[in-house]
Structures are given as C-alpha cells and as structure tokens.
Amino acid sequence: MSEAAAFWHYFAPDYASARERFVASAQRAGAQLASYRHPHASGPGGIALSIDVARLGAQHAPKQLLAISGTHGLEGAAGSAVQIAWLENAAASLPLDVAVTLVHGLNPYGFAHASRTTENNVDLNRNFVDHDEPHPHNPHYAALHEWLIPPRWDHDTLAAAKAATDRFRDTHGADALFNTLASGQYTHADGLIYGGREREWSNLTLQRVVEDHLAHAQRVAFIDWHTGIGEYGEPFFLCFNAEGSELQQRAAQWWGAGRVLGQRPHGLARPDYRGLVFRGVERFLAGRPMAGAVVEFGTRGPNVSLASRLDQWLRFRAPQAPEPERDAQLRADLLDAFVPVSSLWRDSVIRHGLAITAQTLDGLARW
C-alpha cells in the first residue's frame, strides 16, 4: 500500500479494528508476532484484550527501535495508525544490524473503552515508579481534586472549577498549576493522572516484552506515541534523556535540536513527570543505552487538560446520574479531543509519523 493512501486505511474506528489491522499488516510485512493476553480485563461486549508485538529484523541485531502505541489508551488510534502505515510502506527496508519492535496497545483496556487510563484508572505513564518506596508527593493536588472532577458537568460547575484553578495560578503561578495537574498523583484513585499503588499488568507485561524481544539489543531507540500537546497535527517531542547528556544530543541529531532541546509544553515549564514508561524501559534495559522521546501530536493545546478531566468525570461521576444523550455527546467530544476526526489532522499524523520513524532508523543505523 502506498504512503499516499488515504488516512482511513491506517486509522481504525475502535480497538478491535485497530488490533486486527495491526496484526494483518505485521503478517504481510513478515514480522514475528507475539500477543500478551490480559488475564482478567475485557473490552466492550467481552472481547479479549491483549498487547500485540510485531518484531522485524535480524534476531541478534545490536541496534533496535522500540515504538509503543496506546500508553494512554484512547490516544492509541494515532500511534496504531503510524505503526500500521510504517508496516505497510517502509518495513522492508531495514538495515542489516537494525531491528524494530512495535508494541501495539500497551494499555488495551483504555484503548478499548476509550479512556486514557487502565482498568484500575491508573495513568500508565505515571505507574513506572518504585512502589516499594514512598510514592511521589504532589502537595497541591488534594486541594484542587473536587474542583477538577466535579459532581456535575455543566456551565456553573465548570466556571467554578476555572475560578478555583485561576486562584491557584494567581497565587502559585502557571507553571506550578501545570505541574500539579500533569506531574502525577498517588493519593486519589478516582482522580486526575493517578499513578497507582502497585505495578499495573501493562507495566509488568512491558518488562516481559523487553526481555523477550530486546535481549540482544546493545543500543535502543525509543518512541512512545501520544496525542494532546503541541500545535494542531504537529509533533511535539518530550525527550527524557538527561539534560546535556550524549543520549539527549543523539536524539537532537535524529530529530533536530529545535524539536528536542528546551521544549516547553503549552509554553510552560515541563512538569516533574514521575513514573514514565520511558523510565521503566531504561530500567528494563539494565544499563544498555537508550535515546528517545515521547512524541505527541497536538490537538487542543492547553484546553486538552479539560478533556483529561472529562475522561475521569465520565468514568466516575456520569454513572451516578446517567443521561444517555448527554453522555454520548461528551464521549464523542472526549475522543475528538485526543484523536480528532479531521482529515487534515490524521493526514498530518501519518506524514509526520512516517518521517519521524525514518529519521529514527537512519540515526540508529549510524549509531
């Protein structure tokens, strides 16, 4: 299939369709396939959930790309589409010493149920902390929690919540507000960006994936596909290699220093993100070097934070007083906030996603 094929060949309408397309594309590309089935959670209508892995390249290739979709479940359709487009268009041209491992639907429950979080309402991208140690402290979250996830979703409660967050911003600053809302919290299980109290199934399974498929990797490139931050349809890079390190510089060489260095999401200081998948993979690789980034595709700019709150409201508050017409429209709004239906946005994701993957593999081959 040509790269020029329309976006709907790659974007699937739901998790089950995305999984089917990914597996079929991987088979056509001659990939080694593995599936890690969820032992107890299921999707709508009881469908099976799994993390699917496609691996291409020599078994003992010393350089490997690990690319993940669906860490935040409902964002998964975008990363899935990029993975499928790459399998259909570029998988046949790998250098001899480079392999690729594609992890599809790392959070299959969230992907299937159109939620950013797991079956336990855990933000998987805050779950990779050491749960045997005291959990990171988010000192201001508790004071804002009831405003962020209000009992009702209407003009009055949203206006009151905005007034509360505005007061916090006026007192503590915009950077402190963003950090409170985005860095992660470990105290409110029904709250925003909840990191959990123990390792999620997806966390444990990703360790198995790294052990099973990257055992021979000596150098690793990493991409975790996300949506939300950045200009509409444009990629935004969050590199978590140490500031000023050789690995950070390598990522900057691959993708451009202007994209990688000194990035400020929504124009604000980068939050003190805790428990990232990035950190987990670093640990699983046990000292082998890894350069990479979370790559976002922008949607609603700073307003995407409201959609994250809507996700939690639909999960915990809407069922207490359901209104089918209201809830259906809000769910459609939530989906569009993270994976817009616009053909312009989806075409941009495919175009940029393929280019970024090609840049990564070219840089990895030269490493």
> Is 237 among the domain residues?
yes
Q: Which of 39, 40, 73, 100 is nearest to 357 (CA)?
A: 100
> Is 168 among the domain residues?
no
Torsion of CA 206, 212, 213, 216, to 10 degrees: 120
Contact between 104 and 52 under an 8 Å Cβ cutoff? The reply is yes
Global pTM?
0.97
Q: Which of 85, 57, 58 is nearest to 69 (CA)?
A: 85
pLDDT per residue of the chain (367 residues) written in tens, 0 to 9: 445 578 889 999 999 999 999 999 999 999 999 999 999 999 999 999 999 999 999 989 999 999 999 999 999 999 999 999 999 998 888 988 999 999 999 999 999 999 999 999 999 999 999 999 999 999 999 999 999 999 999 999 999 999 999 999 999 999 999 999 999 999 999 999 999 999 999 999 999 999 999 999 999 999 999 999 999 999 999 999 999 999 999 999 999 999 999 999 999 999 999 999 999 999 999 999 999 999 999 999 999 999 999 999 999 999 999 999 999 999 999 999 999 999 999 999 999 999 999 999 999 999 9
> Is 145 among the domain residues?
no
Beta strands in the chain (DSSP E): 32-37, 50-56, 63-68, 98-104, 219-232, 235-238, 290-298
The pair of structure tokens assigned to 219 is 């150098």
Question: Counting beta carbons within 10 angstroms of the beta carbon of residue 198, is it exposed (0 to 12), middle (13 to 18) or buried (19 or more)?
Answer: exposed
> Is 111 among the domain residues?
yes
**H or E stretch including 200?**
none
Query: How many domains does the chain divide into?
Result: 1
> Is 160 among the domain residues?
no
State the Cα angle at 68 between 22 and 231, rounded to 5°. Answer: 105
Report the Cα 253 to chain-centroid distance in Å.
23
> CB under 8 Å, gap of 24 or more: what pairs does 159-168 form?
168/140, 168/143, 168/144
List the CATH number of the domain containing 92.
Answer: 3.40.630.10
Q: What is the extent of the structural domain holding 71? A: 7-139+176-366
> Is 104 among the domain residues?
yes
> Is 303 among the domain residues?
yes
> Is 170 among the domain residues?
no
